[in-house]
Amino acid sequence: MSYFKTAMLLAGMTALFMGVGYLIGGASGATIALVVAAAMNLFTYWNSDRMVLSMYGAHEVDVRSAPDLVRLVAELAGRAQLPMPRVFIMDNPQPNAFATGRNPENAAVAVTTGLMQSLSREELAGVIAHELAHVKNHDTLLMTVTATIAGAVSMLAQFGMFFGGNRDNNNGPGLIGSLALMILAPLGAALVQMAISRTREYAADEMGARICGQPRWLASALAKIDNAAHQVPNYEAERTPATAHMFIINPLSGQGMDNLFATHPSTENRIAALQQLAGELGPRAPSPPAGMPRGPWSRPARGSGAARGPWG
């Protein structure tokens, strides 16, 4: 996602935020909303990684506490010509992963214990390569900022429902307008998220497949993750659904076919695109990472704060 598209998205989300403020409080409400949006964007820019990692209870690991995982990330980051990101583990049974951070120099990759339990080393390499593609494409800041603004739009719309419905039609939206505001404003913010999320996922799939060298590794991982995501709940994501688009697979529910309201492309379509890419690359595909760990995953060191599971 280019910086221009990022700027356009943020401008659109901010305009929506201001529009809700105007409907609630007139010109003064729009001004207040603009100031709040600017402050939120600035705060999110500098704190996006800490916000989302804390939200999901992620624990940072290093080469001593999770050596195989960290070395795999380092190898793939080198292949992607990226700085080494910080590595986190989330104690969550649902297999999933996301990347965050305001730029490649301040990026983080987080995986769940469920992901490490259910995937092979090759499949995990595909997932991590996908997340590094988000970092390389500068998607990570965009994902967190849109989640923040979309959540704020929803909260402001609910605020308008409680405080705007009692105002007369000359000064506020009234009861009917407040009901429409509560429904349409969050929907508009969600549509912006969903539209960019689908394009971003396809791009990260392709780049991630090229980084790890084997598109079928990622295709196999997506199939496994999608199947488990339908069966294993992610309670943290359920409490903060505005962050669902950050994960490699929707942590809330299955999407079915691509449509206007899907936060992710359909997994079947993504796998088909990766299979096609594998056919195009054929024997010309780059070799898999030389540093792929061959032994079992190492157990985090005692007292490291890393989540533990049977992958250790």
> For residue range 198-252, what is the model confidence (pLDDT) as tens digits?
678 888 999 999 999 999 999 999 999 999 988 898 988 888 777 787 899 989 8
Query: What one-character-per-residue DSSP string does 20-44 give?
Result: HHHHHHHHHHHHHHHHHHHHHHHHH
Residue 212 CA to residue 129 CA, distance in Å, equals 6
- Contact indicator for 189, 13 with CB cutoff of 8 Å: yes
Active site members? 131
Eight-class DSSP state of 232: S
Three-state secondary structure call for residue 127: helix
pLDDT tens digits in sequence order for the chain, 312 residues long = 455 665 676 677 677 777 777 766 667 766 776 677 667 667 766 776 788 899 899 999 999 999 999 999 999 999 999 999 999 999 999 999 999 988 899 999 999 999 999 999 999 999 999 999 999 988 887 776 666 666 667 666 666 655 554 444 455 555 566 566 666 666 766 666 666 666 788 889 999 999 999 999 999 999 999 999 888 989 888 887 777 878 999 898 644 444 455 668 889 999 999 999 999 887 655 555 654 444 334 334 333 344 333 333
Q: What is the pLDDT of residue 309?
A: 37
- Contact indicator for 54, 274 with CB cutoff of 8 Å: no
Q: What is the pLDDT of residue 230?
A: 82
Other CB atoms within a 10 A radius of the CB of residue 156 amount to: 25
Question: Is 292 among the domain residues?
Answer: no
Question: Is 295 among the domain residues?
Answer: no
Eight-class DSSP state of 290: T
Question: Is 13 among the domain residues?
Answer: yes
CA angle in degrees (0–180, nearest 5) for 96-64-287 = 60
- Contact indicator for 149, 34 with CB cutoff of 8 Å: no
Q: What is the pLDDT of residue 301?
A: 36
**Amino acid identity for residue 185 in this structure:** A
Question: Is 306 among the domain residues?
Answer: no
Domain extent for 109 = 3-284
pTM listed for this prediction: 0.74
Question: Is 304 among the domain residues?
Answer: no
**Into how many domains does the chain fold?**
1
Question: Is 312 among the domain residues?
Answer: no
User: Parallel, antiparallel, or unpaired: how do β-strands 108-112 and 86-90 relate?
Assistant: parallel
Look up residue 280 and give its two tokens. 């195009």
Q: What is the pLDDT of residue 142?
A: 73
Give me the phi and psi of 225, to 5 degrees please: -65, -45
Question: Is 86 among the domain residues?
Answer: yes
CA angle in degrees (0–180, nearest 5) for 156-249-96 = 100
Residue 154 CA to residue 159 CA, distance in Å, equals 9
Other CB atoms within a 10 A radius of the CB of residue 162 amount to: 10
Which residues have CB under 8 Å from 44's CB, separation 6+?
Answer: 51, 144, 145, 148
- Contact indicator for 311, 297 with CB cutoff of 8 Å: yes
Question: Is 275 among the domain residues?
Answer: yes
